[in-house]
Amino acid sequence: MPDNQDDLFGEDGDEELADFDRLTDMLFRRVADFADEEEVPDGMLSPLLFRVAVTMRMMDYVATTAKPSGGGLKLDLDRFRRDIEDIIRETKKDADRFVAEAKESMAALAEQNDEES
């Protein structure tokens, strides 16, 4: 997730951002547990989660709009797509750091597993 969250939480959104991060961590752990339990292949997890995200967005639109319509849903999905594209664009800027940290974490985990064996 990119560091710049001003659009989502506003100028005084430190508390909201902290809660968002906490919920993200909790959801990540639950999804990882689900993937392990169900033996979901790594390449399938992202499309599954994306489908859930789109479906949740569609349900949110219908539940929170006074007069939902197919055209309105299409416009809302266009906004959602732009939001997703913005997140990906910002995240790409941090790709090198992410890869370095992921490699470091994976190496530490492999070392820990070797020590336990």
Residue 65, C-beta contacts closer than 8 angstroms, at least 6 positions apart = 72
Tokens of 100: 């370095």
The answer to whether residue 4 is domain-embedded is no
Residue 1 has pLDDT above 70, yes or no: no
Ranges 4-8, 78-82, 106-110, most confident: 78-82
Residue 4 has pLDDT above 80, yes or no: no
How far CA 16 is from CA of 12, 39, 44, 59, in Å, comes to: 9, 33, 31, 23
Tens digits of residue pLDDT in 11-53? 667 899 999 999 999 999 999 999 999 999 989 999 999 999 9
Instruction: Verify that 21 and 47 share a domain, yes or no.
Output: no
Instruction: Verify that 50 and 78 share a domain, yes or no.
Output: yes
Closest among 67, 28, 70 to 45, alpha carbons compared: 28
State the Cα–Cα distance between residues 3 and 100, nearest whole angstrom: 17
Dmax of the chain from CA atoms?
Answer: 60
Instruction: Verify that 62 and 103 share a domain, yes or no.
Output: yes
Q: Number of structural domains, the chain?
A: 2
Instruction: Verify that 15 and 70 share a domain, yes or no.
Output: no
Instruction: Verify that 74 and 107 share a domain, yes or no.
Output: yes
Instruction: Verify that 35 and 79 share a domain, yes or no.
Output: no
Which range marks the domain in which residue 113 is found? 41-117
Instruction: Verify that 46 and 100 share a domain, yes or no.
Output: yes
Instruction: Verify that 57 and 101 share a domain, yes or no.
Output: yes
Closest among 25, 26, 43, 45 to 35, alpha carbons compared: 45
Average pLDDT, the chain: 91
Q: What angle do CA 23, 25, 29 make, to 5 degrees?
A: 115
Query: What per-residue confidence (pLDDT) applies to 115?
Result: 85
The answer to whether residue 2 is domain-embedded is no
Give mean pLDDT, residues 92-110: 95
